Amino acid sequence: MSEPKRLHPAAIIFNFIKGIREFIFVLIFGFITFRDQSFGYFILIVLLLALIIVAYSVISWYRYTYRVEEEELRIEYGIFIRKKRYISKNRIQSIDLTQGVIHRIFKLAKVQIETAGSGNGSEASLKAVKFTEAQTLRDELKNEDTQATELDPETEAETTNHPFYKISFKRLFVAGSTSGSIGVIFVLALGALEFERFIPDRFFDNAMSWVIGLSIMLIVGFALALLLFLWLLGIAGTMIKYGNFTITKYKDELFITRGLLEKKQITIPLGRIQAVGIQESVIRQPLGFVTVFAEVAGGSLDQGEDFSTVLFPIMKRDEVEEFLQEILPDYAEQPQDFNPLPKRALTFYLFRTMVPIILLGIAVMFLLPQFSWVIIILLIGGLYLGFLRYRAGGYYLKENRLMVRYRVLSKTTMLMYHKRIQAFEKTQHKIQKAKKLATLKLSIIGKLGTGKHYTIKELDEADLDQLSDWYSYRK
């Protein structure tokens, strides 16, 4: 594969879409400004801009070539200034294939190549390559025998003994029902109300008169129907994102595929995993469901929730150990008893949770006293959340492994090895010192070259000193 190759002509479509996206705010601003006057000139400018973007997209596609030569992937691109990028095979850490809707129509794939220094984005991205050619390129760059890996890892796993897990439709539905995305969508819906200024006044006034004219029961029914619609929208979003989710352990890598509209194939070298986490959201915890994820060092493999890579979207808590035993046996052990926070830490957790609510309550008392009852409800909820945070805090130490547990809203448990911890910090203010308490801060390497940090507040000072001794003894 030494002859320069061009991307599939469908790459012109992606270049055009990217060009339009970069000018979308200018187009919207121009439409709002010139919709009444000089609208004809605005249309002419839009057509001229579209023509320029089309020409740029075609020329960019023509000038973009790639080839594999002398143990390197060589990419050349640029219209006016010719740029050359050479990526050594030895530097490549992962190669991901993604198929969006347009890719599927033409049986193509987007190839994203990650190296240790990828930073914010992939080292190289081939927007549109034939899917079979993308698989061949992936094997060639990984110095693997193409004939030996003709089978897809997922397919091979089903016919051999490679660990393989696939999400069921029932679990996917539960994941969507308990994702909590309804809250996010509700906030977005509230934000969308800001667009009311663009609605013609006559139409808006008529709509408001119609709503006011409805009875209370109809308004309540309408609100419930809206919430149901948002809930179903959240389920649909989860199914689109995690539909057909599979994870396969193949040799020394994990292969994750997911997505209904956009199918992604993510490769995770086991050596890049810095920690494994288990997250129990407020909604899922009573039902016994958790999400298993990993912190992976390097580029931008999968910028999901909090930039972590989801190893499995949802499973029962008692299934985690068996799952990790198959996929990541070094992280499988799940202790039953954590070292909890001392009882004298409870006051700190309650106080810290209540402060923002009290400040909010003071503002409400002065500005909106009729809503004071809301503050009482928030105070009760805040006290309960503070207690849950206190109950969740703790750690478990065994040999060269440290497991920490904390809660913001969701309860999170992180397991990491001694050699993966980049920084260990003990902090203590005067009040903590008087109470013989201290705060633990841990850091590991995360995505995008940044660190991931974990904080456990109000640990017993003696326990934290013991952890400090454990960390200082580097192996």
- Say yes or no to pLDDT of 146 above 50: no
More confident call, 90 vs 75: 75
More confident call, 219 vs 165: 165
* Contacts by residues 269-272 (CB-CB < 8 Å, ≥ 24 positions apart): 269/93, 269/94, 270/328, 272/93, 272/94, 272/296, 272/297, 272/298
The DSSP code sequence of 79-98 is SSS-EEEEEEGGGEEEEEEE
Confidence of residue 466 (pLDDT cuts 50, 70, 90): very high
User: Beta-carbon neighbour count of residue 225 at 10 Å?
Assistant: 10
pLDDT by residue (tens digit) across 91-145?
Answer: 887 788 888 888 888 888 999 888 766 555 677 889 899 988 988 888 888 766 5
Largest CA distance in the chain: 76
Cα–Cα–Cα angle for 130, 135, 140, rounded to 5 degrees: 120
In the predicted model, what is the mean pLDDT of residues 196-217? 63
In the predicted model, what is the mean pLDDT of residues 364-392? 86
For the entire predicted model, the pTM comes to 0.74
- Say yes or no to pLDDT of 159 above 90: no
pLDDT score at 301: 46
Confidence of residue 148 (pLDDT cuts 50, 70, 90): very low
- Say yes or no to pLDDT of 172 above 70: yes
The DSSP code sequence of 53-68 is HHHHHHHHHHH-EEEE
In the predicted model, what is the mean pLDDT of residues 203-221? 68
- Say yes or no to pLDDT of 235 above 80: yes
pLDDT by residue (tens digit) across 5-28?
Answer: 899 998 898 888 888 888 888 888
